């Protein structure tokens, strides 16, 4: 199948040291010859510095690093050319415009700008990657933290593909057993037929358990993409905003001695030791009779945010007594299953801190108590390490990332097909049970892109890619 040669800027638009222009298709080498004004063949996978010229006027555009990759062992599976030009806007535009002018359909030379995600789409169409690997590439690009990178790497390296391939092989084997019953049932006695049917039933039960367990791990790992939600809770002037600033290493929140400075929930995304964390700085908890109407609403939102968090940091100043309102809040959160760490702040203002007394008062174990000073930095590093251990527990030891598209297919096609098999097995209908397994196998094929009619899902997969990827 003939496809036009495509080109696009693959690096971020704007002034930079380098701009990488990617070209893929049968006319990649033609473009190389025209821009470099040379007849010498480019050496595959060898870098070379070449002057680039405007094809018509022969005026110098730039001096660039060029790399030519010969099909089929390229990202797209086609001849592929990369031009590493200087990253000035005018230079990039002049080279892109020069490539555009080489389009000459009258002479069979079709060159056009790439559509969104088209380089990766061609990689899929040419069999270089399946859809789970393609989606792994997208997740890798979007990864903000180390844990997200490692999770995306599992899909990119083919781990997800192998897992789904094993499931499909299991289903196909069981389809073959049921097909034997349908096609040759008359040649077997009833007992033998029932034994085969029961064997398939047992196999499907084991497979369903595997898939359900895998899907549960995926859902647990989703916190890595969305971010672990942490709420800072405590009385006014406890140092919540100071702690937030310490964690972000910048002045994110306003720090003031005036009570009630924070009126609303302030969400700040952080990277704490490789974990994406959304820390919410909330209004100080105090008696509502001392707060104005806006602060009352802020306190209500603070409590609501804490109830929906993955972890709560109760910031408590040690230079004043703990209020009954805060103790009640901490106990309420504990009873609702929210993990809580008490951060005893302002230790620089007192001679000693009775950590065990605070643990008893709040109803928390000693390992959940941390003594710090946001003024001197005392105990902050220990708190960071403790938070990292908590994040590791909250997320997963081996995180898995699976796109929403793939999750929907696993739930609505694969597991649906297996459930339908169980239903028809109970009815003793081999034909419909067989058809149900085919639905499940086709569902896995839709996830990997290994089925007929896959065009209908390509738009969803590639629509979120940038132009040059």
Phi, psi of 272 (to 5 degrees): -110, 105
Buried b (16+ CB within 10 A) or exposed e, 342-360: bbbbbbeeeeeeeeeebbe
Looking at residue 263, its pLDDT comes to 41
pLDDT at 2: 74
Domains, the chain, in order of start with CATH, read 3-113 (3.30.1360.120), 135-220+402-462 (1.20.120.430), 226-288+305-392 (3.40.50.300)
Report pLDDT for 60.
Answer: 96
Q: What pLDDT sits at residue 38?
A: 93
β-pairing verdict for 18-24 and 5-9: antiparallel
In angstroms, the Cα distances linking 12 to 15, 96, 116, 121, 385 are: 9, 14, 14, 20, 35
Q: What SS3 string covers 197-225?
A: HHHHHHHHHHHHHHHHHHHHHHHHHHHHH
| Backbone dihedral region for residue 274 (phi beyond 0: left; psi -120 to 50: alpha; all else: beta) | left
Q: What are the E-state strand segments in 12-159?
A: 18-24, 47-53, 60-69, 80-86, 111-113
**Residue among 285, 348, 355 nearest 319 (CA):** 348
User: CB neighbours of 184 closer than 8 A, spacing ≥ 6?
Assistant: none
Cis peptide before 209 (omega within 30 of 0): no
Please tell me the predicted confidence (pLDDT) of residue 261.
42
Return the number of other C-beta atoms located less than 10 Å from residue 270's C-beta: 19
| pLDDT digit string (tens) for the chain, length 469 residues | 678 999 999 998 888 899 999 999 999 999 999 999 999 999 999 999 999 999 999 999 999 999 999 999 999 999 999 999 999 999 999 999 999 999 999 999 999 999 998 999 999 999 898 888 888 888 888 777 777 787 777 777 778 889 999 999 899 888 888 887 776 655 556 677 788 889 999 999 999 999 999 998 888 777 777 788 888 888 878 888 788 877 766 554 433 343 444 444 567 788 888 788 888 876 555 444 555 455 555 566 666 777 878 899 999 999 988 888 888 888 888 888 889 999 999 999 998 999 999 999 999 999 999 999 988 889 988 998 898 888 887 765 577 888 889 999 999 999 999 999 999 999 989 899 989 999 999 999 999 887 633 453 445 445 555 556 6
Predicted confidence at residue 20, as pLDDT, reads 97
């Amino acid at each position: 199948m003939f496809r036009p040669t495509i080109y696009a800027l693959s690096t971020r638009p704007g002034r930079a040291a380098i701009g990488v222009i990617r070209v893929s298709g049968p006319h990649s080498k033609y473009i190389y010859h025209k821009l470099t004004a040379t007849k010498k063949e480019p050496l595959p996978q060898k870098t070379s510095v070449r002057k680039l010229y405007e094809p018509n006027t022969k005026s110098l555009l730039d001096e660039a690093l060029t790399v030519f990759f010969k099909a089929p062992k390229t990202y797209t599976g086609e001849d592929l050319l990369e031009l590493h030009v200087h990253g000035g806007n005018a230079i990039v535009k002049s080279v892109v415009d020069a490539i555009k002018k080489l389009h000459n359909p009258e002479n069979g030379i079709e060159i056009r700008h790439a559509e969104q995600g088209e380089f990766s789409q061609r990689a899929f169409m040419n069999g270089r990657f399946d859809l789970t690997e393609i989606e792994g590439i997208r997740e890798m690009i979007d990864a903000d933290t180390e844990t997200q990178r490692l999770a995306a790497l599992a899909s990119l390296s083919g781990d997800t593909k192998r897992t789904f391939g094993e499931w499909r092989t299991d289903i196909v084997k069981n389809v073959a057993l049921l097909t034997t019953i349908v096609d040759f049932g008359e040649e077997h006695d009833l007992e033998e037929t029932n034994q085969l049917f029961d064997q398939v039933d047992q196999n499907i039960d084991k497979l369903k358990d595997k898939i359900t367990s895998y899907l549960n791990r995926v859902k647990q790992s989703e916190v890595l993409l969305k971010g672990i939600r942490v709420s800072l809770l405590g009385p006014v002037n406890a140092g919540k905003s100071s702690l937030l600033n310490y964690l972000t290493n910048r002045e994110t929140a306003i720090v003031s001695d005036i009570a009630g400075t924070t009126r609303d929930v302030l969400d700040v995304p952080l990277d704490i030791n490789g974990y994406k964390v959304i820390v919410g700085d909330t209004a100080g908890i105090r008696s509502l009779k001392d707060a104005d109407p806006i602060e009352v609403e802020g306190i209500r939102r603070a409590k609501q945010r804490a109830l929906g968090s993955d972890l709560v940091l109760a910031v408590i100043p040690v230079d004043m007594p703990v209020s009954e309102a805060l103790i009640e809040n901490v106990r309420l959160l504990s009873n609702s299953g929210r993990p809580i760490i008490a951060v005893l702040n302002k230790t620089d203002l007192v001679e000693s801190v009775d950590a065990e007394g605070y643990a008893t008062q709040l109803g928390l174990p000693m390992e959940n108590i941390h003594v710090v000073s946001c003024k001197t930095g005392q105990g902050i590093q220990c708190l960071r390490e403790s938070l990292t251990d908590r994040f590791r527990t909250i997320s997963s030891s081996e995180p898995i990332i699976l796109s929403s598209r793939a999750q929907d297919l696993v739930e609505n096609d694969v597991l649906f097909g297996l459930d339908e098999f169980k239903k028809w097995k109970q009815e003793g209908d081999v034909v419909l049970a067989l058809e149900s397994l085919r639905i499940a196998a086709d569902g896995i094929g839709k996830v990997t892109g290994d089925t007929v009619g896959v065009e209908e899902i390509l738009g969803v997969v590639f629509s979120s890619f940038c132009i040059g990827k």
